[in-house]
Structure 1
């Protein structure tokens, strides 16, 4: 491991810890830990003339750890398993519609904006967690690096604005709020909605996992329809 890689990992962890402390003191959508940490990291790396290619090895180490971290979300699922099972059928229906709609709108908008095919492919997997997005985008000829960028962008926007939009739309049911955030904002959104309660977190965790499965199954069939 090179010095830059080690420094990048330490910087990322330190920036996130600092952002979490800031969010506890000033709780607003604009102090969402991932958003603040991302801005800080970009600023520091840019000022030190460290480009993305140099940061990539550190990113790969941390992306690898996302798998075990995602498995840890099983705890809130277990605690609220009775409620989740009661609403399982309606949840899967909503998730299926939401996931398909997300893929279609993302690719359709990318195509309308004249983005390249690789960008279109990356946008198709923006709503699933990074480990799944990296593998899924390869099925449709996209770039894993670009896919991760889309995933991070979607997650941050979903975590910052998702709860606000749900509130404006007068969606107050804890299960529905968690389901909505998990469907479109994966792990980043889940970490944010968990602050509202364990049921929201559990529903979001379930949504994130099921949406990833649905995306992996239907993506190779839906995406070619746009080309």
Structure 2
């Protein structure tokens, strides 16, 4: 029976995604993006059928494994702008490093204030990078395999929904700066929004997300250990 529902949810997710994508292309409304519509409908369906998350995840987990190659694919357009990227590479490295440090410190500080459990605090530390990188950090930071993707998606959704508004408030309109902001703050969903705004923003957002993920995977365990020790 578990296998039946696993296959059912796998087919449901794929079909729901393609239908939601077609609808999104027609409407061009961010709040109707597949990343919002599909999870919402899936959660609603799971609740109606009174199932547990493991019933949904048993086969749909294979869709998650596709995020790794998809993340690499974001780097393909980077080749076209390699000269410009080389010119601003130091600035992108610095912005990604600061972004990840601020993300870790703010997550830990707020989690401590609200008295969240340790596993929740640890899971929040990886929320600012895309899911493939975040999953790599799960064991390193002592997080939950279920919570880290959840917090990562929520972070991306916030950036997707409010990114345009927040950037509108800023007087600095440089597409490189705005692309870096979206890529660092909202990872894959930020890239989707950046590509809608400007092709160059999308490329910079892609590169920023990849750099941020690499920085977190390499240095997060050490940084998190320091944060836990001093805070």
Report if TM-score (shorter chain) is over 0.5: yes
User: Compared with structure 1, are the counterparts of its residues 160 and 58 closer, same or farther at alpha carbon in structure 2 (3 Å cutoff)?
Assistant: farther
Report the secondary structure of 1:50's partner residue: coil
Q: CA deviation at 1:53?
A: 1.4
Match of 2:228 in 1: 226
1:185 aligns with 2:186: yes
Structure 2 unaligned blocks of 5 or more:
none
Q: CA deviation at 1:74?
A: 2.1
Within 5 A, what are the aligned runs for 1:145-224? 145-224=146-225
In 2, Cα distance between the equivalents of 1:58 and 1:158? Answer: 28
CA contact (8 A) 2:122 2:142 kept: yes
In 2, Cα distance between the equivalents of 1:27 and 1:61? Answer: 29
Taking structure 1 as the reference length, the TM-score comes to 0.93
Q: CA deviation at 1:161?
A: 1.2
Cα RMSD between the aligned structures?
A: 1.7
1:68 aligns with 2:90: no
Q: CA deviation at 1:100?
A: 0.5
Q: Structure 1 segments of 4 or more deviating over 6 A? A: none
In 1, Cα distance between the equivalents of 2:124 and 2:172? Answer: 27
Q: CA deviation at 1:31?
A: 2.0
CA contact (8 A) 1:183 1:211 kept: yes
Taking structure 2 as the reference length, the TM-score comes to 0.91
In 1, Cα distance between the equivalents of 2:5 and 2:191? Answer: 30
Match of 2:142 in 1: 141
Q: CA deviation at 1:191?
A: 2.0
Say which is worse superposed, 175-184 or 9-18, in terms of deviation.
9-18
Within 5 A, what are the aligned runs for 1:15-94? 15-94=16-95
Report the secondary structure of 2:137's partner residue: helix
User: Compared with structure 1, are the counterparts of its residues 172 and 9 closer, same or farther at alpha carbon in structure 2 (3 Å cutoff)?
Assistant: farther
In 1, Cα distance between the equivalents of 2:42 and 2:57? Answer: 13
1:9 aligns with 2:37: no
